Amino acid sequence: MQGTRGFSADGLLRKLAKSGKGYLLILPTFALILVFSYYPFLQALHKSFFHWDGQSTSFAGLDNYKRMFTGDAELGKAARNQIVITVVSILKIVTLPLLVARLMFALTSGWATRTYRIMLLLPMTVPWIVMGYVWKNMYAPKGVFNTLFAQLGLESWAHNWLGDPSMALGSVLFIGFPWAGGIAFLIYLAGFQGIDSSLLESARLDGAGFWRRFLSIELPLVQTQTRILLVLTVLDSLKSYGFLIFLTNGGPAYATLSPGVWIYQNSFVFLRFGYASAIGVVLLLVSALLSWLMIRLTKRGDLHD
């Protein structure tokens, strides 16, 4: 087929780069990024230096930033809650999804593999608002948990799960149990499937048992997947607040307050848009710093590998 020459995507990209037309093709994308990502940040940065309630505006200088670090006990509570949320989220990502993916990798039946994979990935298709509504009803005073405890004669175990300050944060973090499916399971499964089978076979012939192969060979070879999930989990925990607003709105008594929820409340409840903008700017800088640190650690780990 000499009349039809092979099409090379790489060759086309090189030609576009040399001619300069490639820059024109990506210009609309950069324009959208500037409009919808950088402009809102610059606007928030500008508003953070003002007292603004949606109507009147007065210059505040650094007052909003000073208030964050010296006069906002609720923000301190939100920061402590955020640390707990992030740590627990990391533990949920690197435990059960990893073990379930390894068990799935060990299955030899194609039918069983497909069936269990579908069952574990189906939760990804459920909108978070639906899942939140289901769990909120389960946590209700007459919900599933309290009803079950009553039938088992364990009435003392019943609680107002989302209304008790001592139980609210733990109840929110328990949502989604057993945390075995979703994107973490999928990423780990892909990592296990990418391991050279000859390595595992050699270890098996040398007498290495399951746990020895898992800890000495398989686990180190999925470190890249673990690092990716760590970055995604930390960033997602910092920016997620809709779930908390829907379940508890940061209560009771700020027991489930997070920086994202506090930004929302300062904006649309207390009408302190300037102060909310200042918190948002600092939160964005913290997220960027954590992203940079984790990417550096990821690259360093890849070099060591």
pLDDT tens for 121-155 read: 887 888 888 999 999 999 999 999 999 999 999 98
* pLDDT in the model for residue 301: 58
Token duo for residue 26: 């990506």
Q: How many whole angstroms separate alpha carbon 230 and alpha carbon 183?
A: 12
Q: How many whole angstroms separate alpha carbon 129 and alpha carbon 243?
A: 7
* pLDDT in the model for residue 61: 92
Q: Output the domain CATH number for residue 129.
A: 1.10.3720.10
Domain encompassing residue 209:
55-304
* pLDDT in the model for residue 252: 92
Rounded to 5 degrees, φ, ψ at 174 are -75, -15
Instruction: Compute and round to an integer the Cα radius of gyration of the chain.
Output: 25
203: in domain: yes
Instruction: Give the pLDDT confidence of 16-52 residue by residue, as tens digits.
Output: 566 666 677 778 888 898 888 889 889 999 999 999 9
Residue 220: alpha-carbon gap to chain centroid: 23
83: in domain: yes
41: in domain: no
Burial class (CB in 10 A: 0-12, 13-18, 19+), 69: exposed
Q: How many whole angstroms separate alpha carbon 302 and alpha carbon 252?
A: 44
Q: Which segments in the chain show pLDDT lower than 70?
A: 1-22, 298-305
Per the structure, the count of domains in the chain is: 1
12: in domain: no
Note if the bond before 127 is cis, omega within 30 degrees.
Answer: no
Instruction: Look up the pTM and report it.
Output: 0.83
145: in domain: yes
282: in domain: yes
43: in domain: no
